[in-house]
Structure 1
Amino acid sequence: MKIIDFRTRCVAIPLNAQLRHNTGVHPGYFLRTILEIITDEGIIGLGEVGGGDQRMALQKLKPRILGMDPFHLELIKLKVLRSIYYLSNSRLYAAIEMACLDIQGKVLNRPLSDLLGGSVRTEVPMIGYLFWRYDRPGGGHDTCAEDLADYCVELHETLGINAMKLKAGVQKPMEEARVLELCRKKLGDDFGLRIDPNGLWSVATAVRVGRKLEDLNIEYFEDPAWGLEGNAAVRKQVRVPIATNMYPNKFDDLGPAIRLGAVDIVLTDIHYWEGPRGVKDLAAVCNTFNLGLAMHSGAEFGIELAAMIHTASTIPTMNFAGDAHYHYLTDDIIEGGLMKYENGCIKVPSGPGLGVSLDEDKMKHYEKYYEQKGDYYARFHQDPYRPEWHPTVGGL
């Protein structure tokens, strides 16, 4: 079997609100680049990557893998990810690995999870991800802690989720801490609480917020300050587990993070950690050093979400509910539409490979939608209601 071609397409899907974060606003839609790797036997593997329009970036890698066997992932990784440092991009390689594993599963008639050692759970619990929203369903913006706490209760009641994470760094730090206080009051002691300012806060601010949250028994404080040194400084001063999706988010920085004592819990991400197989490598290192494991969300559609769920289902020590922006999407590009939440969980797809297929009608529709809306990653992450605003790191 050989790879003979691959196609790249960019699609955008509307959200039910605009989502604010500390470097701007997701402006009412997410966009993803979809990869289809085609073999000489007519089997097509699906991959997905975010970060804006990645079509040409992936096409630059095409000559490196044409003619290769999709089962030979170590050699593909060497040629795609390791060959030339300025073309090295773990996100692009991860999309290729995802598609090759999809092909392998289809050839063997086994789910992707079986290629990673087999599932230890049939479903993966997910959180309710809280963003400060512009243009909410029904109108208006989120302006105070009560708005987000009420939305968290709504997600608990409609999706069955039993944990949340607040994307912080938008409002005043103590108002954001108050969101978690209200959620604890409304949803009880067993409801999981997390907060993530994406490294925006100074160490002093992060310590002040962390100490305020200590009595809430939160699951973790994610990337409270900037860099490995910032997270390590906060970890020494608060009695709350420190998690990260930023420092480290690659193998180069994992050793230094462990030596510095910068982290208690590492969020796995298929794209940052070099594909599903790379996530398994990360899990082995974390197990060695008794670090916790959780699952990061990158505004994924159904192809990548399927890969994430397959991967998470094979990691026995992943005891935290997974992140997901998914409940903000109004539709999906896979057959059957949006995956279903059942009691706060999403089931591991059961078909061969990823277990999902593209809906071509929806692909065409959302390709046109992307053409209309454009690549907002190619623009500065602007705030439509504050045209002069810009992000400031460590300024609070």
Structure 2
Amino acid sequence: MKITKIETFQLEWAEPGQGFRSAFVRVEGEDGLFGLGETSPMQGGLASLIVIANDMARDLVGQDVLDQAVLLDRLLHKCMKLGPEGVVTGAIAALDIAMWDLKGKLLDLPVYKLLGGAWQGRLPCYSSMGGGAANTVDWLVKTAMQRVETERPAALKLRRDGDRTKQDLDVAGDIAKARAVRKALGDDFPLAFDANNGYSLGAAIRVGRELEDLGYIWFEEPLQHYNVAATGELARRLDITVSAGEQTYTLQGVKDLIEAGVRMVQPDIIKMGGISGLMQCQAIAAAHGVELAPHQTQPTIGHMANLHMLSTIMLRSKPVELCDGWERADSVFRNPSRPVDGHFILPTAPGLGLEFDAAAMTRRSIPVRAQ
């Protein structure tokens, strides 16, 4: 099937003018079938959408969507001088997801079938709860208990969400919050802690050892993401699983984390190559005996793509991320993936399996065209 049109647009989560924006791409084929993809919504995803519109779309029109890997590798290397990490890999991710969606519709199969089949159709989720640095112990405990009661997750992750330009602002306070949530939820409930790059190596060792004593199951991004060697050293010095990779945008970057000593990697499907990128990450993680637990906060297209990919992993050991605000864009998608008894249900319809309200999509869309 030849690609006939590429459209890039932002989508406002709330009514126009009232909310943040997602960043979507639409890849259309000859017979009117189309696939939808998503890139990172940071700063509205505008940079990646402009790269697609300016530097990628014209090279895809007229090409066969089944030549996806060749086409996207060519575009990655064409745009190499733009970084390429982040903006370019996010653009590739959006196009890759859209092409998988289109191929599934073309072949009348769900994406997970095209990837080799699903090991499970119900994927447990963990509740990812932000605001740890800015709020009190009492607020954190109350909110954690509410999330567990309403979402019934398999685990809960506390996120600091602090100022990334400052280190070690309130180590004692962070430990006190981790202790309070552990006490409130009991010794057996699985807990994780995301430092959001907030510590020096020494402070991370101190916090990590406290988390070990409290029975937390992983310690996410304790150090700045670019301090790969120090993150590896921390991972080797602690018993708790140290994870990283949310700000890692290439397969080579994931390899560097693993070789440094990190035993759980967390690249994001909409930041580093889409479904194809994460399938490559899973291969290298499996070869090294490392866990792959992708970062994921996107509630619609990127999230659904993540579910299809994760369902294909035989020995997947961590739940799927369910972040704050996951219900955003529900009014646009008729069947957004919501947790049911702490699980996401893998759709079986062709492509990604998403259905949307065309009128609502049009009303909330803001086109991003070539400059």
Calculate the TM-score normalised by the size of structure 2. Answer: 0.87
1:47 is matched by which residue type in structure 2? G
Whether contact under 8 Å (1:117, 1:314) holds in the other structure is: yes
Matched, 1:31 2:29: no
Query: Could you say which residue in structure 2 is the equivalent of 1:78?
Result: 73
Matched, 1:97 2:96: yes
Displacement of 1:56: 2.1
Query: Could you say which residue in structure 1 is the equivalent of 2:142?
Result: 150
CA distance in 2, matches of 1:56, 1:147: 40
1:42 is matched by which residue type in structure 2? G
Displacement of 1:334: 4.2
CA distance in 1, matches of 2:233, 2:75: 36
Query: Could you say which residue in structure 1 is the equivalent of 2:152?
Result: 160
Query: Could you say which residue in structure 2 is the equivalent of 1:384?
Result: none
Query: Could you say which residue in structure 1 is the equivalent of 2:33?
Result: 43
* Closer/same/farther in 2, CA of residues 306 and 247 from structure 1, 3 Å limit: closer
Query: Could you say which residue in structure 2 is the equivalent of 1:378?
Result: none
1:342 is matched by which residue type in structure 2? V
CA distance in 2, matches of 1:356, 1:47: 11
Please give the root-mean-square deviation of Cα atoms over the aligned residues, in Å.
Answer: 2.5
Displacement of 1:126: 1.4
* Closer/same/farther in 2, CA of residues 9 and 259 from structure 1, 3 Å limit: closer
Whether contact under 8 Å (1:245, 1:267) holds in the other structure is: yes
Whether contact under 8 Å (2:336, 2:354) holds in the other structure is: no
Query: Could you say which residue in structure 2 is the equivalent of 1:212?
Result: 210
Whether contact under 8 Å (2:128, 2:157) holds in the other structure is: yes
Calculate the TM-score normalised by the size of structure 1. Answer: 0.82
CA distance in 1, matches of 2:352, 2:170: 41
CA distance in 2, matches of 1:100, 1:67: 14
Displacement of 1:209: 0.8
Gaps of 5+ in 2: 163-168
Query: Could you say which residue in structure 2 is the equivalent of 1:295?
Result: 294
Judge which range, 154-163 or 263-272, deviates more.
Answer: 263-272
Gaps of 5+ in 1: 16-27, 135-141, 372-396
* Closer/same/farther in 2, CA of residues 280 and 99 from structure 1, 3 Å limit: same
Displacement of 1:128: 1.1
Displacement of 1:39: 0.8
Displacement of 1:248: 4.6
CA distance in 2, matches of 1:120, 1:212: 36
Judge which range, 4-13 or 245-254, deviates more.
Answer: 245-254
1:85 is matched by which residue type in structure 2? M
2:52 to 34, 58, 69: 58
CA distance in 1, matches of 2:28, 2:50: 17
CA distance in 2, matches of 1:167, 1:29: 22
Matched, 1:68 2:67: no
Displacement of 1:13: 1.4
SS at match of 1:343: coil
* Closer/same/farther in 2, CA of residues 107 and 328 from structure 1, 3 Å limit: closer
1:363 to 361, 364, 367: 361
CA distance in 2, matches of 1:98, 1:190: 37
CA distance in 2, matches of 1:211, 1:133: 19
1:5 is matched by which residue type in structure 2? K
Query: Could you say which residue in structure 2 is the equivalent of 1:313?
Result: 311
Whether contact under 8 Å (1:228, 1:247) holds in the other structure is: no
Matches within 5 A, 1:220-299: 220-226=218-224, 227-246=227-246, 248-261=248-261, 263-297=262-296, 299=297
Whether contact under 8 Å (1:293, 1:317) holds in the other structure is: no
Matched, 1:131 2:130: yes
* Closer/same/farther in 2, CA of residues 319 and 327 from structure 1, 3 Å limit: farther
Deviations 1:260-311 (A, max 9, x none): 22x01011421333121221111111111111121211x4131111111111
Judge which range, 33-42 or 5-14, deviates more.
Answer: 5-14
* Closer/same/farther in 2, CA of residues 38 and 333 from structure 1, 3 Å limit: farther
Query: Could you say which residue in structure 2 is the equivalent of 1:322?
Result: 320
Whether contact under 8 Å (1:335, 1:357) holds in the other structure is: yes
Deviations 1:84-122 (A, max 9, x none): 412441111111111111111111111011111111110
CA distance in 2, matches of 1:106, 1:326: 31
Displacement of 1:222: 1.0
CA distance in 2, matches of 1:196, 1:203: 15
CA distance in 2, matches of 1:309, 1:174: 37
User: Matched residues, percent identical?
Assistant: 24
CA distance in 1, matches of 2:11, 2:132: 23
Whether contact under 8 Å (1:128, 1:161) holds in the other structure is: yes
Whether contact under 8 Å (2:131, 2:161) holds in the other structure is: no
CA distance in 2, matches of 1:247, 1:327: 21
Matched, 1:192 2:184: no
SS at match of 2:65: coil
